[in-house]
Copies of this chain bind each other. A is one copy, B any other.
Amino acid sequence: MSSTSIEAPYLMYLGDAPDQLAAKTANGVKVWRPEKCRGQFRLPGCNADLGLPDMTMKEAADHGVRTIILGVANRGGVMPDAWVDTLVEGLELGMDIASGLHVRVSQIQRIKDCAAANGRKVLDVRHPTKEFDLGTGAKRPGKRLLTVGTDCSVGKMFTSLAIEAEMKKRGMKADFRATGQTGIFIAGDGVSVDAVIADFIAGAAEWLSPANDEDHWDLMEGQGSLLHASFAGVSMGLLHGSQPDALVLCHEVNRPHMRGLPHYPVPSLEEALEINMRCARLTNPDAKLVGVALNTQSLSDQEAEDALKDASDRLGVPAIDAVRTGAAAIVDAL
C-alpha cells in the first residue's frame, strides 16, 4: 500500500520483557500471522515466550528474516544499551526494524546512523510520517466494514481479523485494514490513526481504504468509542473516513467502567448503536448494523450463550464472540 509497508518474514524482538503481558503485541502477530514469524529474539532476563525458535541476529538473517519487530513494552521508556547494541547488529546484517514503542527508535542516534549507513528502514509505526490529504467524504467503490465499540479494547481488532479470515476461507475478496500498532504488524501496513494530526483523521481513513472492486471488502479495525471522553474524536474521524457499509458493534460483557475513566459507566449496546449509526450516515446513508461481537471471557459457556442470544434478540442481528464462535454468523448475514 505504501512506502511504510513492513516486509516479512519477521524476527519478534522480545528483549528483556518482564512477563508475557509485555509481549502482548508480539503475541497478537504470532496468533494471526504465524507464517510471518520466523523466530524470536530474547535477552537475559526475558520472561516472555512466543513459542517460536530462539535466534541470534545472525541466525535470523541467515533464515531470511527481513524485519525485526519490536512488539514489546520496554521497561521505563528509555531504550537500554543492550537493545540498541543488538538492533544495530540486526541493521548491519541487512534487516529492517519496525517498532511499536512510544519512543522513536528511528531517532536514536546510533540506530539512525547505522540505518543510514546500511540503507535500512526503521519504522516507528506509532508515529506516522506520511502527510495525508483532508477527508472528502466522497463515495468510492468497494465495500467496507468497520468494527465500532462501546469502549476501547473490547475486541475490535480481533473481530475484524476473524471476519477477514472467514471471508478469505470462503474465497471472498477481503483485506484487514490496520489502524493500530498490533494490526499494522499483522497486516504489514496501515496507519496508527490516533497518532495522525487531528485535521487528517478522516483523510487517513479514506487513504487506508481506497477505491476497490465492488465486491471487495475492507475490514477496518475500529479504535476507541464515540462514547469515550478521551478518544471519541479519533473514533468519529475513523467512522466518517471509513464510510462503512456495514458496522459490527463490539462490547465486553461485565466491564465495570470505561477504560481509564472510572467515573464513566459503559454505555448500553443500544446507546452505542444509536450514536454510531447517526454519525455513520453522514458519509454513508446506507450504513447498517450487521452484527454484534461480544467479548464474553468473564462468562461460563452457558452464560456466554445466553448473552449472545440476548444481544442478538435486542439488536436484531447475529451476535458472535470471535474467540468462542468465530465470525461465520456475521459473514453469513452480509
Contact = CB atoms under 8 A, between A and B. Distances in A.
Contacts of A282: 227, 229, 232
A314 interface: no
A233 interface: yes
B229 A240 contact: yes
Contact of A198 (B134, B226, B233, B278): B233
Q: Which applies to chain A's interface (DSSP): helix, strand, loop or mixed?
A: helix
Interface string A193-217: 1111111011100000000000000
Contacts of A226: 236, 279
A135 B231 CA distance: 8
B135 A229 contact: yes
Contacts of A134: 230-231, 260
A234 interface: yes
A136 B233 contact: no
Nearest to A127: B197
B227 A237 contact: no
A299 interface: no
A263 B283 CA distance: 11
Interface in A138-189: 138
Nearest to A243: B229
Interface in A236-254: 236-238, 240
Contacts of A237: 198, 232-234
Interface string A123-140: 000000000001111100
A83 B239 CA distance: 42
B227 A233 contact: no
Contacts of A196: 197-198
A275 interface: yes
A261 interface: yes
Nearest to A278: B275
Copies in the complex: 2
B199 A234 contact: yes
A203 B198 CA distance: 12
A202 B233 contact: yes
Contacts of A264: 137
A144 to B, nearest CB: 15
B202 A201 contact: no
A155 to B, nearest CB: 20
A234 B264 CA distance: 22
Contacts of A193: 198
A5 to B, nearest CB: 22
A232 B236 contact: yes
Contact of A137 (B136, B137, B261): B261
Interface of A: 134-138, 193-199, 201-203, 226-227, 229-238, 240, 260-261, 263-264, 275, 278-279, 282-283
Given A194-B198, A230-B240, 5 more contacts: A197-B198, A226-B236, A229-B240, A236-B236, A275-B279
21 contacts: A134-B230, A135-B229, A136-B230, A136-B261, A137-B230, A137-B261, A193-B198, A195-B198, A196-B198, A197-B198, A199-B234, A201-B233, A202-B231, A227-B282, A229-B282, A229-B283, A232-B240, A232-B282, A233-B240, A236-B236, A278-B278
